[in-house]
């Protein structure tokens, strides 16, 4: 009777919902309550139920006052950048996955028990007394032979661990390069800021000289305006460069895993700083070294090993497997004597027809293996061409350094001569401003050459996979 009324109630609710009577029946769990009222409105979300955002580690006060070198900053970044921690955890996870694959070589043992109370009615209509029963049992199963399926899965898991390991190495190299690039860019921007300050001072002196000559009637008002305009331009460039330095400080702090407003002191780069030394190895030697040192290339090789193991695994899936099973139980039932229950036997599984599922799994695995092999070849080519380009780019920066240094020295001398001539009326304000512009451009070119040469060396090291040459000025 109770079941009948429950059925009637469910049918009634369903009928009301189908008829569209009542909003509660249309959305009984109120799933639309958190949605926007109409299209075009943003969804507010439920941020209070999301995990909290991690906070960046603060820069200790004692370290903020220290002048840091590039190796020290790199060491800090490797220990505190979240990318390195994430790649390490990914490697640990893959090592655990290898353990999962290895576990297939051991037997599985399961304990289970059931307890019940049963009331039944005999076919003659008499009630049988209720009985209590308890039955604990142990079950054992072990695969004896599977035509290499477990071995293939273990090999695939092992190769996946290699992939994760080389991925971690790539992450470490990426963090090192990011810190190095941010470090030298900040050095360059700070040096450019100093150069812009010198340009402002030189334009200020030119303006003062123009004012003196104008007051003496030896310079036109136009020359005075030109000097003022040049000074204003230099001041604007200096102000913009100061913000570029602040941006570079934030980039370096972020690469270290620190808040972007952290104060990091580094030794300045000047126009007297030396460029990196020549790379002793030839480009062919570096290309050969990359074949065993470059982590991206090694990861591609590991991916081929994974794909090949997956082919063997897919083929073994369609072959028979032989296993042994056994169980032991002890049954306790009210009204009966307790007794043992046990079984032991062999199980043979022979896949006869799976709807071509295994056939296409093998085809997919084989195609993936060929794809990974082609990817390996492409990765090798791209790695070697990167080394070739980075090597000759670095050599080009070194070759350009003497000319940039000579240009700066000559621009300084030219500036001194033009200023002296201008003060005695043998040069115009245009000559002075042109000499100042040439001197500023020469400073910029030399600083850019120094920064580019060190960044190019870092790029070459990353492409090879091992440190190459000097690493800091």
Q: Is residue 28 part of a domain?
A: no
CATH number at residue 154: 1.20.1600.10
Residue 428 has pLDDT above 70, yes or no: yes
Pairing of strands 108-121, 265-266: unpaired
Q: Residue 25: inside a domain, yes or no?
A: no
**pLDDT score for 423:** 84
Which of 56-65, 128-137, 318-327, 459-468 shows the lowest per-residue confidence on average (mean pLDDT)?
56-65
Identify whether the C-beta of residue 109 lies closer than 8 Å to the C-beta of residue 139: yes
**What domain count does the chain have?**
1
Pairing, β 265-266 against β 67-68? parallel
Task: Check whether 12 has a pLDDT greater than 60.
Answer: no
Question: Residue 46 — very low, low, confident or very high, per pLDDT cuts 50/70/90?
Answer: confident
Mean residue pLDDT of the chain comes to 88
Instruction: Tell me whether residue 265 is in a domain.
Output: yes
Predicted pLDDT at 220: 81
**pLDDT tens digits, residue range 354-409?**
899 999 999 999 999 999 999 999 999 999 999 999 999 999 999 999 999 999 99
**Rg of the chain taking only CA atoms, in angstroms:** 38
Q: Judge whether 262 lies within some domain.
A: yes
pLDDT, one tens digit per residue, over 189-214 is 999 999 999 999 999 988 888 888 88
Kindly report the number of other CB atoms within 10 A of residue 367's CB atom. 12
Alpha-carbon distances of 434 from 164, 366, 411, rounded to whole Å: 57, 68, 10
In whole angstroms, give the CA distance from residue 456 to residue 390: 6
Residues 6+ apart with CB under 8 A from 426: none
Residue 5 has pLDDT above 60, yes or no: no
| Listed residue (411, 399, 395) closest to 444, CA to CA | 411
Q: Is residue 408 part of a domain?
A: yes
Specify the pLDDT at position 44: 82
Task: Evaluate whether residue 328 is within a structural domain.
Answer: no
Q: State residue 64's pLDDT score.
A: 78
Global pTM exceeds 0.75: yes
Residue bearing the bigger pLDDT, 33 or 25: 33
Sign of CA dihedral 119, 122, 125, 128: negative
Give the separation between CA 362 and CA 55, rounded to whole angstroms: 47
Is position 54 within any domain?
Answer: no
List the beta strands (DSSP E) in 263-412.
265-266, 321-333, 339-349
Q: Distances in Å between the alpha carbon of 415 and those of 218, 270, 289, 378, 384?
A: 20, 19, 49, 53, 46
**Would you say residue 88 lies in a domain?**
yes
High-pLDDT (> 70) share of the chain, %: 92
Give the pLDDT confidence score for residue 425 in this predicted structure.
Answer: 82
Question: If we measure between CA atoms, which residue out of 472, 449, 451 comes closest to residue 402?
Answer: 449
Q: Which domain holds residue 388?
A: 69-109+150-320+338-464
């Amino acid at each position: 009777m109770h079941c009948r009324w429950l059925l009637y109630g469910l049918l009634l609710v369903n009928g009301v919902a189908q008829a569209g009577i009542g909003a509660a029946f249309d959305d009984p769990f109120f799933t639309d309550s958190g949605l926007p009222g109409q299209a075009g409105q943003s969804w507010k979300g439920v941020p209070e139920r999301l995990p909290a955002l991690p906070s960046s580690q603060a820069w200790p006060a004692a370290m903020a006052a220290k002048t840091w070198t590039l190796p020290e900053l790199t060491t800090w970044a490797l220990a505190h950048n979240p990318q390195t921690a994430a790649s390490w955890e990914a490697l640990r996870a893959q090592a655990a996955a290898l353990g999962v694959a290895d576990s297939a070589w051991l037997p599985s043992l399961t304990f289970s028990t059931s307890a019940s109370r049963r009331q039944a009615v005999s076919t003659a209509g008499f009630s049988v007394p209720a009985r209590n029963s308890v039955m604990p049992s142990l079950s054992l199963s072990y695969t004896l032979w599977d035509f290499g399926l477990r071995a293939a899965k273990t090999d695939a898991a092992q190769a996946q661990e290699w992939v994760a390991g080389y991925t971690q190495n790539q992450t470490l190299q990426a963090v090192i390069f990011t810190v190095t690039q941010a470090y030298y860019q900040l050095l360059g921007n700070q040096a450019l800021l100093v150069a812009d300050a010198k340009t402002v001072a030189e334009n200020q002196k030119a303006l003062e000289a123009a004012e003196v000559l104008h007051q003496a009637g030896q310079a036109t008002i136009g020359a005075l305006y030109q000097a003022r305009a040049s000074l204003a331009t230099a001041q604007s460039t200096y102000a913009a460069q100061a913000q570029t330095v602040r941006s570079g400080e934030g980039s370096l702090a972020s690469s270290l895993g620190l808040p972007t407003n952290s104060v990091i002191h580094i030794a300045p780069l000047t126009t007297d700083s030396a460029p990196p030394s020549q790379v002793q190895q030839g480009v062919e030697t570096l290309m050969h070294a990359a074949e065993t040192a470059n982590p991206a290339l090694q990861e591609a090789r590991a991916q081929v090993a994974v794909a090949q193991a997956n082919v063997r695994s897919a083929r073994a899936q369609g072959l028979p497997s032989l296993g042994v099973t056994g169980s032991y139980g002890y049954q306790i039932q009210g009204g009966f004597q307790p007794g043992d229950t046990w079984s032991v036997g062999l199980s043979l599984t022979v896949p006869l027809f799976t709807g071509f599922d295994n056939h296409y799994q093998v085809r997919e695995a084989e195609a993936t293996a060929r794809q990974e092999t082609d990817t390996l070849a492409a990765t090798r080519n791209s790695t070697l061409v990167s080394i070739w380009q980075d090597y000759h780019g670095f050599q080009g920066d070194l070759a350009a350094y003497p000319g940039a240094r000579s240009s700066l020295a000559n621009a300084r001398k030219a500036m001194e001569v033009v200023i002296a001539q201008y003060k005695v009326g043998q040069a115009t304000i245009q000559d002075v401003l042109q000499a100042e512009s040439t001197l500023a451009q020469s400073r910029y070119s030399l600083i850019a050459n120094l920064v580019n040469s060190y960044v190019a060396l870092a790029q070459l090291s990353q492409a090879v996979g091992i440190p190459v040459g000097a690493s800091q000025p």
